[in-house]
Amino acid sequence: MPFQLPELPYAKDALAPVMSAETLEFHHGKHHKAYVTKTNELIDGEQGLSGASLLQVVRKAKESGNAKLFNNSAQLWNHSFFWQCLAPAQGQQPEGKLAKLIEDAFGNPQALLDKLQEEAVNHFSNGWAWLVLDRGSLRVTSLHDADTPFVHDGMVPLFTLDVWEHAYYIDYRNERPRFASSVLSNIVNWDFVAGNLDGQGFERANQGERARSPELTS
Ligand code: FE2
């Protein structure tokens, strides 16, 4: 079965005004969808990828140096993860074990948000700002273009912010700093971030016939 465009976990207008319904119509309905379509086209007929999960496709594309397939399949996964990192603004804050880890690594939640903001704003050109778990500690970093944590050691994904221009141009024009601060201050899904401390964040954006067979995911 081909890979699918995952449904958004909220209504298209649920993140407004931070992220408008129009942005979601384009970013999810056109950009993310295009990555799904292209990935399916590229794996059609590829040796050894029949029935592979999305994680397997991304890893095998990386290993074999198939840049087109890597870029499209990694973007399919990155966006599937990204939508889950967001939630309607309800004054949410990190709690429990996550709050403790944030305190240990950054001092307080605002210091973490400042660090993510800095990483997002200073990342040159297209890419993704990430909060990852690295050997038990939180770390902020960023990756270029379609690059994704699960092809790197020491990067268990907890949260990401898309800083490709297509993520903010409709609502914020060229103002990436205003986009980043607006998202980070208002619509982070801290429950999802906390859930990813179990190290299974990779699987939460995975799909495909083998996605539910952990022994087959590597
Ligand atoms: Fe994007």
165 has pLDDT over 70: yes
Name the band, by pLDDT with cuts 50, 70 and 90, for residue 45. Answer: confident
pLDDT per residue over 111-152, tens digit each? Answer: 999 999 999 999 999 999 999 999 999 999 999 999 999 899
Please state, in angstroms and as integers, the Cα–Cα distance from residue 21 to each residue in 11, 99, 115, 173, 209, following that order.
8, 31, 28, 15, 31
CA of 216 to the centre of ligand 1 (A): 28
Ligand 1 centroid–CA 27 distance in Å is 6
pLDDT at 218 over 50: no
Average the pLDDT over each of 24-38, 43-57, 72-86, 168-182 and give the range with the smallest value: 43-57
Give the pLDDT of residue 46. 83
CA of 107 to the centre of ligand 1 (A): 30
CA of 95 to the centre of ligand 1 (A): 28
Q: Is the pLDDT of residue 217 over 50?
A: no
- CA of 169 from ligand 1 middle (Å) equals 11
**At 161, is the pLDDT very low, low, confident or very high (cuts 50, 70, 90)?**
very high
Whole-number Å distance, alpha carbon 40 to ligand 1 midpoint, is 18
pLDDT tens, residue by residue, 7-19: 999 999 999 999 9
- 47 CA to centre of ligand 1 in angstroms: 29
| Contact of 24 with 15, CB cutoff 8 Å | yes
User: Is 215's pLDDT higher than 80?
Assistant: no
pTM to 2 decimal places: 0.96
C-alpha 104 to ligand 1 mean position (Å): 31
* Phi/psi at 19 (5° precision): -135, 115
C-alpha of residue 100 to centroid of ligand 1, in Å: 30
CB neighbour class for 210 (10 Å; exposed up to 12, middle 13-18, buried from 19): middle
Distance 79 CA to ligand 1 centre (A): 6
Distance 32 CA to ligand 1 centre (A): 7
DSSP annotation of 107: S
8 Å CB contact between 128 and 113: no
CATH class of 19-207: alpha beta
- The order of strands in the sheet holding 127-134 is 137-144, 127-134, 156-162
Domain chopping of the chain, boundaries: 19-207
Question: Within its chain, how far is the Cα of 20 from the centroid?
Answer: 18
How does the average pLDDT of the chain come out, rounded?
A: 95
